[in-house]
Structure 1
């Protein structure tokens, strides 16, 4: 039986603030360093056999942080899109976003839509960025869409299947993740892809995100290849 391959890797990028605080620097310095690390991981991913990479950039709960930090993060997101657009296009990377965009600044929304449109035909790597994303919020919005379709006669309640739910999720059209990685030593999933990652393998590393390297990602992928994935069944010899 061939070793499993992690074609879709999802990452909870945690530890930017602690990385900066440990050095006596403002938290935003850590977030900027984290954005640089994203560039490096995105560049390395295809050579490691990753076809789909989903990263957790900003959760629905992150609005609780200070106004300074939130505004700084939004500026970092905008700057990343503006500065990386040409490189992503040159490297055949498709970029898209999941999460509720309605609360985001209109300028950022336009930048997001623009790069999605520009990279829509690229295939070497599918990069998905979760901004203002929360798994429960996503499921709630999908349920509301199902309720509207049912109330307006477009959907029979008997036809509400797992596939019907998945079609109304932000991740419609994306494969479920094979592997979810969380950096910084925390061992919780923090409302990230609860529907999609139901059968994903998990890896928790103590490494803070700014220190997470392609070499560590490669080592994690190697360990993933040694796992036995049964999806609730029994693997027979």
Structure 2
């Protein structure tokens, strides 16, 4: 989800206004995903690199996350959405971390759609941590080094409960992955759109899904 800052700058507004508008785009996208039968929707909300932003902007983002979490929790339950987290959300402080964990528990029974929020997430860190865990298991004799394969490695990742991505959408005209689910997108279809994230709506989401459905996925075959 990219382009909040540029959206605000084009309108002469502070960056936090762009983040607020971006949060509304999340609501629209989630609603569309539920209506169109998407099983798992993963949103890159805060990367491990976003700490480089100004202290004021990071504080605004944390405040917005807490606000929208409280506001949308009842809606998630009504729509049958299960909330899950990847990344180290403990870095946001104990209060917000506890509220996030409470929301995860409260929606654990929902099965209509799984909403995965990536918070303080970086794919290289995730892959390195998985490698360390496998190395420790091999050193202790719990596993044999020769037995390590893609399936075993994938089981150590934060997303091990869900299938690899079918489709990755990036907004605002940027054409890079930015350290997002690098292992999991090995055979994903990639769709890059010029739309700034706050302007991303049901029509844009449907267009991306239609483009995905029109592609032939060969997975290395003919």
Query: Which residue of structure 1 lines up, in the alignment, with residue 181 of structure 2?
Result: 193
CA shift, 1:150, in A, is: 1.9
Looking at structure 2, the residues matched to 153 and 112 of structure 1 have their Cα atoms a distance apart, in angstroms, of 36
| Alpha-carbon offset, residue 199 of structure 1 | 0.4
Aligned mates of 2:189, 2:58 — CA distance in 1:
31
Which of 116, 123, 131 is 1:143 aligned to?
A: 131
Question: Which residue is equivalent to 2:25?
Answer: 37
2:65 is the alignment partner of 1:77? yes
> How far has the Cα of 1:112 moved from its partner?
1.6
What's the offset of the Cα at 1:153? Answer: 2.5
Match of 2:36 in 1: 48
Alignment pair present for 1:14 and 2:2: yes
Offset of 1:134 from its aligned partner?
0.7
Does the 8 Å CA contact 1:98/1:130 hold for their aligned counterparts?
A: yes
- Deviation of 1:102 after TM superposition, in Å, equals 3.9
RMSD: 1.1
Q: Deviations over 1:164-199 (max 9, x none)?
A: 111111111111110100000111110111000010
Distance of 2:108 and 2:92 partners within structure 1: 22
Report the secondary structure of 1:95's partner residue. strand
Greater Cα shift, 106-115 or 88-97: 106-115
Q: Is residue 88–residue 121 contact of structure 2 (8 Å, CA) maintained in 1?
A: yes
Answer 1 or 2: higher relative contact order, Cα 8 Å, separation at least 6: 1
The corresponding residue for 2:164 is 176
Q: Which has the higher helix share?
A: 2
Check conservation: 1:53, 1:126, Cα contact below 8 A. Answer: yes
Unaligned runs of 5+ in 1: 1-12
Question: Superposed, which structure 2 residues align to 1:121-140 within 5 Å?
Answer: 121-140=109-128
Tell me the TM-score normalized by structure 2. Answer: 0.97
Per the alignment, residue 9 of structure 1 pairs with none
Question: Does residue 107 of structure 1 match 2:95?
Answer: yes
Aligned position for 1:222: 210
Aligned pairs, number = 222
Q: Does 1:232 align with 2:220?
A: yes
For structure 2, list consecutive stretches of 5 or more residues without a partner in the other structure.
none
